[in-house]
Amino acid sequence: MNEPRVSHVVSRVSTRSVDPVERIDFWEEYNRQALIGLTCSSYSPYGLLAAQTNFRLGGLRLAEITGNEHVIERTRRTCQDLPKDSVFVSLLTAGQAVFFHEGACFTVRAGDLVLYDTRSSYLFGFPTSMRQLLVDIPRETFAERCTSGEMAAPLLFGRDTAACALESVLSGWAAGRRGSGDPGQTEAAVLDLVRTLAAPRLSGDPGRPAQPSRLAMAQDYIDRHLSDPGLSAERVAEALGVSPRHLSRVFQPSGVAPARHILDRRLAKASEELADPDFRHRTVAEIAHHWGFASQAHFTRVFRDHYGRTPGEARSRADRVGDPYGRH
């Protein structure tokens, strides 16, 4: 039986069921109550087609937003009438955007992250279909946990290691994936990663990323390089700019060594493919090779040690009962 999705949903809404002439007013009112006061314009002949899910994330809020081409704006008047004292972390995961703020103008591409102050006016224009993950960090929390530096202007970050790790954490939470269910730990990881990004620019103090963010960065790097047969603890340490010994200390809270984490993640991915009918065309040897195992014999041995049966037996059992490990 599949593990149930983690759910910390506060609210979920879509404009598709709303009369096209009422969608803009509907969207503005929903955002005013759930997220922030703003005005919206749609340039699509089909009207505004947008959806939003808001999640609790400890003391933070996460919004997953999708939509067709549109513009949202928070004017100076709106800032006065509907005050909001937060720092927003906007991660664009699909599409592109133009971002105007009192202190800057950016072109934002998929994978880019923008940090900005909700007390100042801004505009986000999306000329194509888009997906955005938006974290609402109360100003007090941002000053206490991220940096006390003043945000005189918004900050744009490209797809570096910390931004990729943050995207992995937020996407896991929004998807309700296994391992994303502890709001306190996830909140800490998000704030540590934001601190890693923001502190050097706002306070001039590069500092050292906190342990949770180092761990998230290392795990994200591993997940993105699992199919590389050369992936090793030494390679991960080099990518993070730490020694292999320090990397071992970073992994201590997880309870497994870096090399063991790499092996466990490769076995998990391989077992998913063995159980998935869409990968029936792949042989066991091909699956082993794809996930970085040196040989089918090595893969079979470590798979049997981990799961108590061979890859072939797991695949056969999946064909019979729909679950390679006999869970009910």
Query: 35 vs 21, 75, 106, CA distance in Å?
Result: 22, 15, 23
Residue 53 belongs to domain with CATH number: 2.60.120.10
Residue 113 belongs to some domain of the structure: yes
From CA 194, how far away is CA 143, in angstroms rounded? 11
Per-residue pLDDT tens digits for 149-177: 788 889 998 876 567 778 878 887 777 65
89: Cα separation from own chain's centroid: 12
Residue 37 belongs to some domain of the structure: yes
Residue-range definition of the domain harbouring residue 23: 9-159
Per-residue pLDDT tens digits for 164-214: 778 878 887 777 654 445 677 788 888 888 888 888 888 655 555 555 567
**Count of structural domains, the chain:** 1
Token pair of 281, please?
Answer: 């065309």
From CA 117, how far away is CA 103, in angstroms rounded? 10
HSE (CB half, 13 Å, CA atoms) of 310? 9
pTM: 0.66
Residue 199 belongs to some domain of the structure: no
Residue 236 belongs to some domain of the structure: no
**Of the candidate ranges 55-59, 84-88, 123-127, the one whose mean pLDDT is the lowest:** 55-59
Residue 120 belongs to some domain of the structure: yes
Indicate the burial class of 110 (C-beta count within 10 angstroms; 0-12, 13-18, 19 or more). middle
Token pair of 324, please?
Answer: 């390679």
Residue 42 belongs to some domain of the structure: yes
Q: Average pLDDT for residues 76-90, to the nearest whole number?
A: 96
Per-residue pLDDT tens digits for 215-224: 877 887 788 7
91 Cβ contact partners less than 8 Å away, ≥ 6 residues apart: 112, 113, 132, 133, 134, 135, 163, 166, 167, 170
**Of the candidate ranges 51-55, 172-176, 212-216, 293-297, the one whose mean pLDDT is the lowest:** 212-216
Residue 139 belongs to some domain of the structure: yes
Query: What percentage of the chain has pLDDT greater than the value 90?
Result: 54
Residue 326 has a pLDDT of 43
Token pair of 192, please?
Answer: 């540590």
H or E element: which one contains 125?
A: strand 122-126
